[in-house]
């Protein structure tokens, strides 16, 4: 069965047309990885390593990459490094997959500058997080996003992660922002499943699960896919969850999601940030990663051993 590019099929051929979900738009792909930023042992950005890792992730099932996000250590990379990373990854993967560049900062003017730089570097879209620390009210938050959307020709993915920013992008704000032609997607880490469904029901925004434990649940109610931290180390297995659902095999999709829970928990719900856990596992797998930048610290031996054990258990389980 073929479907228009950028959409997904209904649940199954036998599904009632009245109950079948409308195809979800996929402006940036379906299985996106929130890619780490590799560094050399001396702490410099490793552009060759970034290209190698990006090519590996695409070969293993990712059809989109998010660069310079939280997992990519954007708070500790310079503006120049951010642009260089986009350029290096674009050179490595060509035009095969969309590249979304994180440009969010606590300063609207700086965010606009980064959006323009990302466009020049070859990004296909920008990821814009709510300004953190200052906690602007909703009208100021809306104005911030609109200014960024007006600044460049790139489509915008809003990043709703109030646990880090201190500010929720409220559902009514998202509904209004959806009226801008370049605001097309949301990376959802709101942990407000009801609010997310309200926006999905009222807008054409493409939602991407930003928390790996929500990949299947959000996809089942109409999301476009995911922006996954865990995909740094198991890209094919993350992609398989969505592939199974698209094929109508919801039982297999559920089994794959639940099988990944121990690794999701170990990588994203423990004491260590996802950047630290992803780099620890990538290093163990012989893939480009390198150290993290302060104030982050690398995983200790006990934590790294635990991560490797959980990873090995998932891989040994097969399918």
Write out the catalytic residue numbers: 159, 187
Q: In the numeric block, which tokens belong to residue 109?
A: 């003017």
- Give the integer Cα–Cα distance in Å for 57 and 67: 13
- Give the integer Cα–Cα distance in Å for 240 and 217: 15
What's the farthest any 2 CA atoms get from each other in the chain?
Answer: 59
- Give the integer Cα–Cα distance in Å for 218 and 209: 6
Which string of DSSP letters, residue by residue, matches the chain? Answer: ----TT----S-TTS-TTTSPPPPP-BTBSEEEE----B-TTSSB-HHHHHHHHHHHHHTT-SEEEESSTTTTGGGS-HHHHHHHHHHHHHHHTTSS-EEEE---S-HHHHHHHHHHHHHHT-SEEEEEPPPSS---HHHHHHHHHHHHHHSSS-EEEEE-HHHHS----HHHHHHHTTSTTEEEEEE----HHHHHHHHHH---EEEE-SGGGHHHHHHTT--EEEESGGGT-HHHHHHHHHHHHTT-HHHHHHHHHHTHHHHHHHHSSSS-HHHHHHHHHHHTT-S--PPPTTS-PPPHHHHHHHHHHHHHHHHH--
């Amino acid at each position: 069965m073929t479907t228009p590019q950028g959409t997904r099929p209904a649940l199954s051929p036998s599904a009632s047309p009245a109950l079948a979900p409308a195809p979800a738009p996929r402006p940036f792909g379906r299985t996106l990885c929130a890619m780490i930023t590799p560094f050399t042992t001396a702490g410099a950005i490793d552009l060759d390593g970034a290209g190698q890792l990006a090519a590996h992730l695409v070969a293993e099932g990712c059809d989109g990459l998010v660069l310079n996000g939280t997992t990519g250590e954007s708070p500790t990379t310079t503006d120049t490094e951010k642009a260089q990373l986009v350029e290096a990854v674009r050179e490595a993967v060509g035009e095969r997959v969309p590249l979304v560049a994180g440009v969010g900062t606590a300063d609207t003017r700086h965010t606009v500058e980064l959006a323009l730089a990302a466009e020049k570097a070859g990004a296909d879209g920008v990821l814009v997080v709510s300004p953190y620390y200052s906690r602007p009210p909703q009208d100021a938050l809306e104005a911030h996003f609109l200014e960024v959307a007006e600044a460049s020709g790139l489509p915008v993915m809003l990043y709703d992660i109030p646990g880090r920013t201190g500010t929720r992008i409220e559902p009514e704000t998202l509904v209004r922002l959806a009226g801008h032609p370049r605001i097309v997607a949301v990376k959802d880490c709101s942990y407000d499943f009801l609010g997310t469904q309200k926006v999905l029901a009222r807008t054409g925004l493409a939602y991407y699960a930003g928390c790996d434990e929500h990949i299947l649940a959000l996809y089942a109610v109409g999301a476009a896919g995911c922006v996954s931290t865990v995909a740094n180390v198991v890209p094919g297995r993350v992609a398989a969850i969505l592939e199974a659902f698209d094929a109508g095999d919801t039982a297999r999709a559920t089994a794959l999601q639940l099988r990944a829970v121990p690794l999701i928990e170990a990588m994203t719900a423990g004491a260590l940030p996802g950047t630290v856990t992803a780099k620890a596992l990538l290093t163990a797998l012989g893939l480009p990663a390198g150290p993290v930048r302060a104030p982050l610290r690398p995983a200790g031996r006990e934590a790294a051993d635990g991560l490797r054990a959980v990873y090995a258990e998932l891989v040994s389980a097969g399918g």
